[in-house]
């Protein structure tokens, strides 16, 4: 029974983008346009080259920002501000999901490769802001992103997460690998299931999944 698999969990860790709102909101589309524009301006390249570099950075370093920092010593502050300067009108409040998260036993935190202020804006638009005890972004891991082990360690030690008694909800399967290795229960939240040893559960409906746990 699924509830049993989570009975030891005291800390519930949620990714933000495409996890706490449906991919259909297409929020990330707005961010991607800004990321590409930033790469074009910072490196003085055309759009095609910028998109190619973004893919390369994502595969090699986990995020566009990590690639820009490693290969071009880019300052993360202006980048993070610019790419997250978006509108949230495609997001709808989800009181049902808010109640389900609130009712989970223990501590609830968000950990995003965006920033904590950005996460706060998204959660507000979703009506989920009161459901969480703390928000963590890439700035809390010295700008190292998930899926890096050091990033998870930085955020989890800052919050005092006992990973043996924690669960992680994520849409990017790469970001479940280290949590699994650290002893966490892993839940892949995405339209399509992917078979991988480091994924304990899959759901295409976060609210329906959480409803089965409480």
Quote the least distance from Cβ 58 to Mg ion, whole Å: 12
Residue closer to Mg ion, measured from CB, 62 or 67: 62
Quote the least distance from Cβ 197 to Mg ion, whole Å: 21
Triad 9, 130, 182: Cα angle to 5° = 25
Closest C-alpha among 27, 19, 17, 24 to residue 205: 19
Residue closer to Mg ion, measured from CB, 10 or 198: 198
Quote the least distance from Cβ 189 to Mg ion, whole Å: 8
Residue closer to Mg ion, measured from CB, 28 or 71: 28
10 exposed, middle or buried (CB, 10 Å; 0-12, 13-18, 19+)? middle
Distance CA 135, CA 123 (A): 10
Residue 57: phi and psi, rounded to 5, are -65, -45
Quote the least distance from Cβ 179 to Mg ion, whole Å: 13
**What residue is closest to Mg ion based on CB?**
17
Closest C-alpha among 200, 170, 167 to residue 184: 167
Quote the least distance from Cβ 27 to Mg ion, whole Å: 10
Residue closer to Mg ion, measured from CB, 53 or 189: 189
Residues 91, 126 contacting (CB under 8 angstroms): yes
Residue 127: phi and psi, rounded to 5, are 70, 30
Residue closer to Mg ion, measured from CB, 17 or 178: 17
Interacting residue ranges for Mg ion, rule: CB under 5 A: 15, 17-18, 171
């Amino acid at each position: 029974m699924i509830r049993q698999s989570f009975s030891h969990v005291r800390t519930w860790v949620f990714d933000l983008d495409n996890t706490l709102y449906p991919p259909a909101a297409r929020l990330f589309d707005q961010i991607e346009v800004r990321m590409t524009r930033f790469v074009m301006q910072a490196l003085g390249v055309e759009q095609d080259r910028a998109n190619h570099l973004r893919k390369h950075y994502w595969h090699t370093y986990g995020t566009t920002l990590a690639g820009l920092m490693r290969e071009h010593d880019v300052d993360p502050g202006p980048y993070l501000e610019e790419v997250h300067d978006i509108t949230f009108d495609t997001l709808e409040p989800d009181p049902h999901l808010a109640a389900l998260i609130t009712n989970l036993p223990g501590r609830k935190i968000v950990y995003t490769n965006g920033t904590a202020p950005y996460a706060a804006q998204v959660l507000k638009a979703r009506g989920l802001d009161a459901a969480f005890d703390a928000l963590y972004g890439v700035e809390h891991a010295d700008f190292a992103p998930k899926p890096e082990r050091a990033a998870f360690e930085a955020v989890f030690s800052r919050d005092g997460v006992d990973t043996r008694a924690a669960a992680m909800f994520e849409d990017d399967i790469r970001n479940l690998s280290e949590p699994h290795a650290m002893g966490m229960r892993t839940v892949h939240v995405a339209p399509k299931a992917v078979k991988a040893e480091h994924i304990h559960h899959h759901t295409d409906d976060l609210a329906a999944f959480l409803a089965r746990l409480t």
